[in-house]
Amino acid sequence: MPFIQLEPSQVHYQLEGEPGRPVITFLNGLTQNANLWKSYADYFVPRGYRVLAYDMLGQGRSSKPIIDIKLTAHADLLAQLLTRLEIEATHLVSISFGGIIALDFAIRHGTRLRSLTVMSTFAELTPQLEFLGTVMLRGLAEVGMPYLQSMLYPMNMSSAWIAANRERIPAMMRAGYIGNDGYAMQNLMESFVEFKPLTPDLHRITAPTLIMNGEFDFFTPRECHELIRREVANSRLLIVQHAYHAFTLELPAVTMRQLEVFITQVDDGSWQGDRSVWVAADDPAADVQWLPCASDWMRAVQPGTPEPAKRAPARKAPSRKKAQ
């Protein structure tokens, strides 16, 4: 993967596909890196796209500022990177921490977007997220990187995935420990101290916007995505069935298919951003990929109408006769 020097930072990136094709740029979450989008490049490049993935500041092989880093620096860096790579506009796909950066980019550099996809993310810190963030930062600072890694697995993945990958997890954690620097992660997390809610500016996002949320994502639950849906007029909310926070890793085939459906709609002009809510098909090969959401998407249970109470049969008055 090549490097590019964008003052004052060095950025490690991968750009695949022929020049002139529509570009899809991927933004990763905390403790991730550009390599995790490799399978997405393998999927989209043969379908006629150009795919850009890069290690965000503080991650992977890109510069890892330690003294200070502003959240806005990430979106500005992306704008610089696109300019240097002579990419005028891009489809932007993002998850979790990358989603916040993507929202900021869409607000301040929106003219450079063909479309926006934000997955498992938030525009402001809900009280739950504020607490979780504080606990994660304390864990990282007081116990160390392995503790944060151990904490993130159950927050990101389903029990089924953990059970199926239990043998591989120590090696995966070791690779994560080598590839991530605790101090850089800490600096990224501390940058949230100055985080101002993006919600008041979300209405400025005009690009076609797909908001994706795992059905069972308890890290960034539905309320975080609902807030974005309400504020972005040209959006749709798509709920990924049976998914947790990191469904790009756990359900890549489903995720790629949904992205393909969305980006195709945008490119062929059939996209309708109407703030509607949909459910992603479980099967990437299904003819219909987006199913209408038939119930209250904010609820985890759908209470039914109570049946009318049946009248209990009248009891006989107890006999005073003694048993013979």
Binding site for other proteins (CB under 8 A): 8, 61, 63-68, 141-146, 170, 174-175, 177-179, 181-183, 186-187
* Dist CA 57 CA 72 (whole Å): 11
- H/E element, 256: helix 252-268
DSSP secondary structure of 56-109: PTTSTTS----S---HHHHHHHHHHHHHHTT---EEEEEETHHHHHHHHHHHHS
CB of 49 to other proteins, least distance (A): 29
CB of 178 to other proteins, least distance (A): 5
Closer residue to other proteins, CB minimum distance, 153 or 183: 183
Query: Could you tell me which residues come within 8 angstroms of residue 198 by beta carbon, excluding any fewer than 6 positions away?
Result: 100, 103, 104, 107, 123, 124
CB of 187 to other proteins, least distance (A): 8
Q: How far is CA 61 from CA 13, 14, 55, 71, 96, in A?
A: 9, 12, 6, 19, 20
* Dist CA 237 CA 274 (whole Å): 10
CB of 83 to other proteins, least distance (A): 20
CB of 148 to other proteins, least distance (A): 11
Q: How far is CA 199 from CA 103, 109, 170, 229, in A?
A: 10, 16, 39, 11
Closer residue to other proteins, CB minimum distance, 103 or 145: 145
CB of 104 to other proteins, least distance (A): 21
Closer residue to other proteins, CB minimum distance, 178 or 301: 178
* Dist CA 152 CA 175 (whole Å): 15
Closer residue to other proteins, CB minimum distance, 183 or 218: 183
CB of 105 to other proteins, least distance (A): 23
Closer residue to other proteins, CB minimum distance, 8 or 292: 8
* Dist CA 113 CA 209 (whole Å): 10
Q: How far is CA 37 from CA 41, 60, 165, 259, in A?
A: 6, 13, 19, 13
- H/E element, 255: helix 252-268
* Dist CA 194 CA 215 (whole Å): 30
Residue with tokens 């069935």: 241
Closer residue to other proteins, CB minimum distance, 174 or 204: 174
CB of 144 to other proteins, least distance (A): 4
Closer residue to other proteins, CB minimum distance, 194 or 307: 194
Closer residue to other proteins, CB minimum distance, 13 or 44: 13
Closer residue to other proteins, CB minimum distance, 139 or 208: 139
CB of 179 to other proteins, least distance (A): 7
